[in-house]
Amino acid sequence: MRDPAPWGTSDTDLGYLSGGTRAILLDSLLHPDFVITGQNGQATLSVRGHALVTLFRPAKEVFRQQLAMVRAYADLRSDRVAETINQTYDLLSFFGMVGHLSSSRNVNTLAVLSSVLRLAIHVEMPFKHFCRSPRPIDYAPQVQPMIQTPDHSSYPSGHAIEVFCAATVMARLMTGIGPKDALVGGDAENQIAAMPFRLAHRIATNRSIAGVHFPVDSAAGAVLGCALGEAVYQMATENGPISWPQPREVSFQPPAESAAPFDLTLGWLRDILEPDAAGGRVPNENTILGTLWGAAAAEWKEDDT
């Protein structure tokens, strides 16, 4: 008989698990904190009983006016076709454009990013159900989407939720800067922090270029994704009571007849976001999420020598 070595050095050590098993464990611990409730075209995301974001389904007139933006974006299809098709099944690889992501050098960062992408999917589907809205092709077959239109709601955009959540987390890991401050601009570090959000904006816009989303879909998803990423950051660095942001409501009204249809810009997103949680928070190494976050952040620490 042998005396087996212990599996893991502590309750927060997941190094003994395969990537797939670790993902299941992380999801089991993280997902229950996030609850989505809704009815009659509106839905609310709450974390630990605190409401973060409420989305209201726009009126059909808003979507009809948005068709002009979908048509305008279609002119970019030949430029964006390759990346748009790739983004129907792969989002994470594109974040390697704004930071070196390697399965050997950044294993913990990849684990965190993969985890929040799965969390975003967990959140987005109930939102889509409660806010169920027809797609561009349902309003105008002339849209002729360049990819297959999904069978779930146009509003909010799941891609936008996922990529803006991942952008928020990646900016925090790389620089410690939150989404609102990253989009304000400033020194070189702020400019680096803004890069994941510029990428997220491009990916979200590609869905309008493809003809499967309206810009308002992506705007609502961007707000929700940033709030979700910030919530994960606060939970990972929880060393006392969390000061959650004020609840944010997102709705879109028909513009005046002479006004241009709404389009998602990073300036609009910056202005609507709640103030960021404080930077410089220390990961809680007594929790699994905090330990993983700390290991991921360490992969981006600069050389002081």
Using one digit for the tens of pLDDT, what is the confidence trace for 103-153?
989 999 999 999 999 999 999 999 999 999 999 999 999 999 999 999 999
208 versus 5: the higher-pLDDT residue is 208
Whole-number percent of the chain with pLDDT over 90: 88
DSSP string, the chain: ---PPPSSSSTT--TTS-HHHHHHHHHHHHGGGEEEEEETTEEEEEETTEEEEEEEPPPHHHHHHHHHHHHHHGGGHHHHHHHHHHTTT--GGGGGGSS---TTT-HHHHHHHHHHHHHHHHHHHHHHHHT----HHHH-GGG--SSPPPSS-SSS-HHHHHHHHHHHHHHHHHHS--HHHHHH--SHHHHHHHHHHHHHHHHHHHHHHTTS--HHHHHHHHHHHHHHHHHHHHHHT-SS---PPPPEEE---PPPTTSPPP---HHHHHHHSPPPPPSSPPP-TTSHHHHHHHHHHHTTPPP--
What is the domain count for the chain?
1
What range defines the domain where residue 146 resides?
A: 37-298
Distance of CA 46 to the CA centre of its chain: 16
Q: Is residue 29 part of a domain?
A: no
Residue 66 resides in a domain: yes
CA-CA distance, 234 to 213, in Å (whole number)? 31
As a whole number of Å, the CA-based R_g of the chain is: 20
Peptide bond into 156 cis (omega under 30): yes
CATH number at residue 152: 1.20.144.10
Q: What backbone phi and psi angles, to 5 degrees, belong to 263?
A: -135, 145
pLDDT of residue 305: 62
pLDDT of residue 185: 81
**26 falls within a domain:** no
Is 168 inside a domain boundary?
Answer: yes
263 token code pair = 């389009």
Cβ atoms of residues 4 and 14 within 8 Å: no
Residue 31 falls inside a structural domain: no
What confidence category does residue 299 fall into, taking pLDDT thresholds of 50, 70 and 90?
very high
Tell me the longest C-alpha to C-alpha distance in the chain. 83
Q: Which residues of 209-218 are buried (b: 16+ CB within 10 A; e: fewer)?
A: bbbbbbbbbb
- Over residues 256-288, the pLDDT tens digits come to 877 888 999 999 999 999 999 988 899 999 999
* Residue 304 covered by a domain: no
Q: In this predicted model, what pLDDT tens digit does every residue of 37-64 receive, in sequence order?
A: 999 999 999 999 999 999 999 999 999 9
* pLDDT of 195 over the 90 cut: yes
Alpha carbon separation from 184 to 86, 167, 177, 269 (Å, rounded): 30, 15, 11, 10
Q: Which two tokens stand for residue 133?
A: 């809205």
Q: What is the pLDDT of residues 50-104, one digit of tens each?
A: 999 999 999 999 999 999 999 999 999 999 999 999 999 999 999 999 999 999 8
Checking DSSP bridges between strand 248-250 and strand 34-39, what pairing results, if any?
A: unpaired
Of 223, 216, 220, 252, the C-alpha closest to 68 is: 216
Q: Does a structural domain hold residue 223? A: yes
5 — pLDDT class (breaks 50, 70, 90): confident
The verdict on residue 30 lying in a domain is: no
